[in-house]
Amino acid sequence: MNENNENMIHETEESAKKTDSRKIDIAARIICVVGAVLLWFYAVSTQTIIEDRRFASIPVEIIGADTLEENYGMTVISGYDYSIDVTLSGTRGELSRVGADDISAYVDLSQISAAGEYSLDVRTSAPSGVAFKELSANYVNVYVDKRTQKGVEIRVNPTYQIESDYTLGTPFTNIETVTVSGPEDVLDNITHAQVTVNVGKLTKSVTTTGSIELYSGSTPVTNPYIKVSETDVTVTVPVYAEKDVPLSVAFKYGYFNEKNSIVTIEPSSVRIKGDPTELDKISTVELMTLDEKKLTGTTSMNMAMVKLPDTVENLDRTDSAVITVTQVNTSTRVINVNNISVKNPNGLEYTMAVDDINITLRGSSGSLSLVSESNISLEADLSYYKKGAKRISVPVKVILPEILKPNVYELGEYTIDFDIK
């Protein structure tokens, strides 16, 4: 390539660079102009163009309630919980500086002097530079009266199905009354509170919950200005069954059986009533526990009826029963016993007042014939006594051969006197 050609290429490159530089400069100037125009339009619109802005749920305050109560003894029953939506009009700049807390809405009670429901104009205020264009409500209903309260009886209205074997008791609630407060003239017409429950098919007592409703006679009271201390209560719907259960006695040692004794009770049974679940637990009413060793022959005694569970009722109103015990197929035998052992863990010095005592035994003739002085013994226990006790009367235990138990047993209780040194 010769020198002339090189010069031409160089001049061409320089010319292209100058052209690109001029294009960039023009584009930058255009962007600046456009930006300035847009900024001007924004500033103008912010300061001059009017817009609307909506503010939701502005609370409506009540002014003058304290004066109303002080001067006329009345209070606002309703109206505290109102709120409205507010639409403000102003420039974008002014509206941007307004928040919900800067807006107030209120009603004035200063002109009220008598009980009743009033429709009061909603008054408003907002920062300067904006105007109220629209309110979602231009007035608020305020109810003014003497607020009183009274206790109202609760009644239960159950819906149910029940078998013929069962009977329905009187349903009841965990509280007997509720406190109702509100306008005096409305409270005067309320007769009771009612709770309605559907308990389905009943085979036992049921406990559930239900909602309180107020009534004036048979008409529901739905006044919005009434307040109730309880909205839900616990309801019990009792169900009862009846059955006859035998009276019985227990035996302390288990010596009595159908072969050696006859026990009769008059009356022999009692009719009881209660919740089916509770009655299922009762198969007999046990009057007492008999001590066979204290029954020396045929014995009759009048025994008071035991207390039944609080949920079970004695329908016969029976308060006592006569228990008769007749000894059969047994006899008695007296044996003189001199085989006496003494437990003496404290090492006491003692003297027994007697060397032997007579023991009366009861049993079948065959069993009694097997008892002799050699296979019966007595045991006295001095474990619970100390020195210086002087003369004491110590119970003694009668020990019979195991093979004879329980067919033979001693009658009564026995003691031996000891002199402690």
Structure-token match 């050696």, residue found = 260
Residue 136: count other Cβ atoms within 10 Å of its Cβ.
14
The CATH class of 241-327 is mainly beta
The span from the CA of 146 to the CA of 305, in Å, is 58
How far is residue 241's CA from residue 247's CA, in Å, rounded to a whole number?
Answer: 19
Neighbours of 376 (CB within 10 A): 20
The confidence band for 47, taking pLDDT boundaries of 50, 70 and 90, is low
Q: What is the C-alpha separation between 234 and 232, in angstroms, rounded? A: 7
pLDDT at residue 288 is higher than 60: yes
Does domain 147-237 fall under CATH 2.170.120.40? My reply is yes
Q: Where are the domains of the chain?
A: 50-144, 147-237, 241-327, 331-420
Query: Which pLDDT score, from 0 to 100, does residue 122 have?
Result: 95
Q: Which residue has the higher pLDDT, 3 or 281?
A: 281
DSSP-derived secondary structure letter, 229: S
Residues 3, 22: Cα–Cα separation, whole Å: 30
| Farthest CA pair distance, the chain | 165
Whether 279 shows a pLDDT value over 90: the answer reads: yes
* Topology alike, domains 50-144 and 241-327: yes
Overall average pLDDT of the 121-147 stretch: 91
Q: Rounded mean pLDDT of 253-269?
A: 93
- CA angle (146, 152, 155) in 5-degree steps: 150
| CA pair distance 233, 195, nearest whole angstrom | 8
For 200-210, what is each residue's pLDDT tens digit?
999 999 999 99
132 within 8 A of 124, measured Cβ to Cβ: yes
Tokens matching residue 254: 């288990």
Fold of 50-144: RNA Polymerase Alpha Subunit; Chain A, domain 2 (2.170.120)
Unique residue bearing structure tokens 């305020």: 142
Distance, in Å, from the CA atom of 58 to the CA atom of 62, rounded to the nearest integer, reads 13
Q: Where are the alpha helices (DSSP H) in 223-307?
A: 276-279
DSSP label of 2: -
Q: Which residues contact 247 (CB under 8 A, 6 or more apart)?
A: 265, 267, 268, 269, 270, 284, 285, 287, 321
Q: 């001029």: which residue's tokens?
A: 22
pLDDT of residue 34: 54
CA distance 366 to 261: 17
- Percent of the chain at pLDDT exceeding 90: 67
Architecture category of domain 331-420 in CATH: Beta Complex (2.170)
- Grouping H, G, I as helix, E, B as strand and the rest as coil, residue 1 is coil
pLDDT band at 419 (very low <50, low <70, confident <90, very high): very high
Whether 225 has a pLDDT exceeding 80, the answer reads no
What DSSP character marks residue 97?
T
Radius of gyration of the chain, Cα coordinates, nearest whole angstrom = 51
Overall pTM > 0.85: no
The confidence band for 222, taking pLDDT boundaries of 50, 70 and 90, is confident
d(CA 394, CA 145): 86
Do 314 and 304 form a contact (C-beta atoms < 8 A)?
Answer: no
The pLDDT tens digits of the residues spanning 157-199 come to 999 999 888 999 999 999 999 999 888 888 999 999 999 999 9
Q: Give the pLDDT of residue 137.
A: 92
Of 135, 137, 136, 131, give the one whose Cα is nearest residue 88: 131
Could you give the 3-state DSSP secondary structure of residue 165? coil
Task: Name the strand (E) or helix (H) holding 378.
Answer: strand 377-381
Ranges 18-27, 44-53, 63-72, 395-404: which has the least confidence:
18-27
Please state the φ and ψ torsions of residue 263, each to the nearest 5 degrees: -115, 120
